[in-house]
Amino acid sequence: MGWLDQMEKTGYKFYDSYGTEKDCLKILKEKGINTIRLRVWVNPSNDRASGHCSKKETAIMALRAKNMGMRIMIDFHYSDSWADPGKQFKPAAWAKHSFKELLTDLYQHTFDVLDTLEKIGVKPEWVQVGNEIPGGMLWPDGSTANWPQLAQLLNKGFDAVKAVDAAIKVIIHLDQGNDNQRFRHFFDHVQDLGVRYDVIGVSYYPFWIQKDYTATIGDLAFNLNDLVKRYHKEVMVVEVGGVDTLVQNTYEMLAAVLKTVKAVPAQKGLGVIYWEPEGAASWSGYPLSCWGPDGKPTKALDAFLINP
């Protein structure tokens, strides 16, 4: 929900399915959504779509969601803007720091954000240490070309989270959740190096791999079940999305993903989070929201209602 604050501040109006203007979070609750995931950047710009999401802005949104009875996930990118498999750039303020200093930077930033949330009465249930990191993070120091250093960074993040609240579950997050070999390769290294974490987070976007969900949903199911058996961890789809104009296909894809996660044995499949449902293309340019040009949620979001 990282865009919501700026969407509102730039005058975007949200309407429910019946055309009544409402708080976006209330609309999402009415659609069966109970969890809000918020990204955090270190020193972001004021760019409308690729900035903001600072500690202060994240805290304000987290408190707002918490006061509406929603659960919170915090997603640390450890960058000043988007971090994903193709880019894991250090924050400008950390760019010239030694690796030892980077460890301290990461710990202090993580602790500071979560401690701020705790002081205003917000307890996240989940925290991601890094965002889509199959190639590592804080390049080049934390690249998978240097696994021992990446392991140290991940453990520093884990320690910072637990120092604030030991009950918060720490997530390590990769993309392409249908690719079992991608996950085995990464988490075998994690296991061998003694990296500490609680949950494996998965992105699943048929759009980005250019295959319909019907061709890959079985692979997603296999991967989630294999991860639980192989690493004895809980799993969660922390990002999913479909084309906003292909409403029926996105609805069916989302329903299938929800069903797949719910079917993970022993209730180890924790849930599914849409990225990012309210981010209408008319405002963001992003083609994978669940919001139409009329300011209303599309039918795709109704998939959450059939999977309570």
Annotated active-site positions, please?
132, 239
Q: Determine whether 56 is exposed, middle or buried from the number of CB atoms within 10 Å of its CB (0-12, 13-18, 19+).
A: exposed
The CA angle 43-139-116, to the nearest 5 degrees, is 35
**How far is C-alpha 242 from the geometric centre of its chain's CA atoms?**
16
State which H helix or E strand residue 296 sits in: none
As beta bridge partners, residue 269 has 235
CB contact at 8 A, 184 and 223: no
All residues at 6 or more sequence positions from 217 whose CB lies less than 8 Å from its CB, including other chains: 178, 253, 256, 257, 260
| Count of beta carbons in the 10 Å neighbourhood of residue 308 | 7
